[in-house]
Amino acid sequence: MNIILLGPPGAGKGTQAKNISARYNLVHISTGDILRCAVVNKTALGVRAKSYMEAGELVPDDVVVDLVRERVADLDCKSGFLLDGFPRTVAQAVELDAILKANETEVDFVLNIEVSQDEIVKRLTSRRVCGDCNRTYNLLFEPPRDEDKCNECGTALYRRDDDSEETILNRMKVYYQQTAPLIAYYQRSGKLKNIDGGHAIDEVFADIEEAVCACQN
Ligand code: AMP
C-alpha cells in the first residue's frame, strides 16, 4: 500500500505519518526530514537546500524529485511507503507518477489533512522538536514533561528555523499557491480522502484508520 499525506504546514502530517507507518508497516519518507538531515550534515544536498528552507520556500523540484526517485527504488519500499511532504507541486506529482510507473507500482490513495489558517499559525509557533530523536511536541497541546527536554531521550528541544512567524506566513503562501492545486489533481484521479485535522491527534488518527479501511474494501 502506497499513501501520500497532503496538508498545509502544521496540519500534523509528521505526527500522523508516524502513526500511519507504524500501524500499516509502511516506510515513512519525509522529504523535510531528509533535507533537514542533509543541512545539519552539510552535504551537497543540504548546502543547496538550506537557503530555500530558511526562507520557507520550496527547494527546486529537480532536487527533491531525484531524492524521492532514489528512495522509493530502495528494497524496503517494495512492501509499501508513506510520502510525507512530497509531492508539493503539480510538477512533482507528475514526476512521481512516472517514477512509480517505472517501479511497477502506483499511489493507492491520498490523505488530505485539512486545518484552518489561524490554527496553523498557533500550532507552528508553539511547535518544538527534539534535537536527537526528532520527536515533535507542542507547548500548547502536547507539552514535554520537563520544560524544553524530550520525554524519550532528555535531549534539549529546539524551535525549527522555519517556525518563526514571518517564515510561517511565507510557507502558508507557498502552500496555497503551489501545493493546494494538488488537491484538485488527486481529486480527478478519485484517490483523494479529506480528513478533518482540527481535532485531537487520536481522533484524527481514528478518522484516518476509517478512511484507509474504506479504501481497502
Ligand atoms: P516539511 O518538514 O515537510 O515542512 O519541509 C520543510 C521544508 O523542506 C519546506 O518548507 C521546503 O523548504 C523543504 N521541502 C520539503 N519537502 C519538499 C518538497 N517536496 N518540495 C520542495 N521543498 C520541500
61 within 8 A of 118, measured Cβ to Cβ: no
Q: Are 145 and 151 in contact (CB under 8 A)?
A: yes
Checking if the pLDDT of 217 tops 90, the result is no
CA distance 116 to 99: 32
Are residues 5 and 88 in contact, defined by beta-carbon separation less than 8 angstroms? no
Catalytic residue list contains 135: no
Does 86 contact ligand 1 (Cβ within 6 A)?
Answer: yes
Mutate to test the pocket of ligand 1, among 48, 72, 88, 94 (most ligand atoms within 8 A of CB): 88
User: Domains of the chain by range and CATH?
Assistant: 2-115+175-216 (3.40.50.300)
- The finding on whether 85 has its CB within 6 A of some atom of ligand 1 is yes
Task: Name residue, grid cell 552535504.
Answer: 43
Between CA 83 and CA 187 the distance in angstroms is 17
Q: Is the peptide bond before 8 cis (omega within 30 degrees of 0)?
A: no
Is 128 a catalytic site residue? no
Higher pLDDT, 55 or 196: 196
Going across the sheet that includes 157-158, the strands are 136-138, 127-130, 157-158
| Ligand 1 atom at minimal distance to the Cα of residue 57 | 12
Active-site pick, 127, 128, 135, 193? 127
Q: Indicate the residue type of 11.
A: A
Report how far residue 24's alpha carbon sits from residue 2's, in angstroms, rounded to the nearest whole number.
10
Q: Per the residue annotation, which of 48, 69, 160, 191 is the catalytic one?
A: 160
Residues 113-169 pLDDT 10s: 999 988 998 889 999 999 999 889 999 888 999 989 999 999 999 998 888 888 888
Q: How far is the C-alpha of 58 from the C-alpha of 198, rounded, in Å?
A: 25
Q: How confident is the model at residue 214 (pLDDT cuts 50, 70, 90)?
A: confident
pLDDT tens for each residue of 20-75: 999 999 999 999 999 999 999 999 999 999 999 998 899 999 999 999 999 999 98
Return the half-sphere exposure (C-beta side, CA atoms, 13 A cut-off) of residue 110: 23
DSSP state of 135: -
Residue 63 Cα to ligand 1 midpoint, Å, equals 11
Reduced to 3 states (helix: H, G, I; strand: E, B; else coil), residue 184 is helix
Q: Is 29 in the pocket of ligand 1 (CB under 6 A)?
A: no
Q: Is the four-CA dihedral 33, 27, 86, 5 of positive or negative sign?
A: negative
Amino acid at 51: S
Taking the centre of ligand 1 as the mean of its atom positions, its distance from the CA of residue 194, in whole angstroms, is 21
100 CA from centroid of ligand 1 (Å) = 20
127 is catalytic: yes
